[in-house]
Chain A
Amino acid sequence: MLLKIAWRNIWRSRRRSMITMSSILFAVFFAVAMRSLQFGTYDRLIENVVNSFSGYIQLHQKGYWDDQILDNAMAVQDIPELISREIEEVIGVYPRIENFALAASNEKTRGVLVVGIDEGQAENMLGLSTKITSGKMFTSASPGVLIGERLAKNLRVSAGDTLILIGQGYHGRSAAGKYPVSGLISFPSPTMGSSLVLLPFSESEVLFSTFGLATSLVIQIKNGKDVTNIRDKILALTDSSSIEALTWQEMMPELVQTIQADSSGGMIMIMILYLVISFGIFGTLLMMMNERQYEFGVMLAIGMSRLRLIGVLLVEMIFLTLGGIVSGVLLAMPLQHYFKANPIQLAGRQAEVMESYGWEAAMSSSTDLSISFTHAAGVLIVTLVISLYAVFVLSRIRPVEAMRP
């Protein structure tokens, strides 16, 4: 019975109901929009950073991550083919050899980290050919090294010069090699730019005597969200007693913390937004109660119990709230997908800075459903709390006064 009255009330004054519902709709819409943009941008950031070096998941010999020495390299065998074949979310498995060495030019010597990568990784994952500022990419036909601009400056070399790498290889064998500098790379971070030397994977095998081995297998996946799942699948496929698989969060806890730190500022922004939207809903409700005073007075005067009246109103609010929430979420969804595919491009100084780090200067949106759910629930709670005001008003209405025009 209550339901019927509530339903009729809603349709009786469509305008009023629309206005009320839309205040809730927009509340949800804006909350979801803001949080989606925040999270989307973080996701993009993670993608950029993770793809630019570490990869989402890495496979190593068990114990390598804690003791990163060449002697702890793993046997590659057929693991890459196995993983690519069995797990469809994986789009690439790339072997890598990393080891410290001394780089010497004609004039200077510097300690460097030598990273042996194959062409697949160089192109598909690191996108190196777009980052080369001078010279060109190394190929199997013309092997050489790629070094950061800063390192080139420190060593006083440029593309075409020769670089010597010496150090220790696998099982104590000495490592020494002479390579032409194929090209210079603009690396995002100064540390990387002054200490990385990239070498074709096959050359690094010769240099360090690591045939058939890799210090890590870097795994590229389609959807960053599934990291932990995919990692577990990989472990199930391989010999987990001798292989370890780490996610980027485990490898780069500082990045996780940086994002958390930034997100805390974002949280506060959302709280401020909630303040604004709560007030918006409240204002609308206030006006609605005000507008319907006459109606309430009449209802009470003709004998409806106060409690029932409150009940009717609450049911109305519930209907409107649910309607508002659902439509708010539905309205937000296409936007989420649009901005995920077409991120908001930033320009100006901020963009320059981000690009100098090798990141896209753009704000993307997340399409994660949990955001919609969270804020639908949030606004629901807010609205219900605000509805208590309506209850309060109704409990105090004096019919005679209310009916005065």
Chain B
Amino acid sequence: MGQAWKFGDNIDTDQIIPSQYLVLPTIQDMAKHTMEPQNPDFSKAFQTGDILVGEVNFGCGSSREQAPLVLKELGVRVIIALDFARIFFRNCINNGILPIEHPCAKEISDKDQLTIDLSKGEIHNQTTGKTYLFNKIEGYLAEILNAGGLSEYIANKKGSADD
């Protein structure tokens, strides 16, 4: 269970991690500035397991993979939005973050308490009492997600081929 952090349309990757922090030496250093233009306290207040919720075109803009990486560093495992920008969607999957495209994003408010059951494909909003079903990701993409990301998937495959 986690708290929803609700944002609006077109949350771009400059909001998730502003350009000037990309030269910091580690993802941990960058993560302190996550979502800073939208909410300067975000990185301090976000708890592992909380859920990011946006509306239209979440993750648009730059291809910087530091965006999903700082989110992962803060404990983001799932993002719900009406739709995602293409490169960000791929970058999330490649880093083991599940992007859920679902119209319920419109009905979720900031600070709602959400429970997500990945095996059932179910989002439950405890604050409003509503439950939503989503299409689980299957096949190749599910294998990448289950491995924790594309790198781990490739490393695992290499490992099993070497055995």
- Asked if A and B are interacting partners, one says no
Chain A residues within 8 Å of B, Cβ to Cβ: none
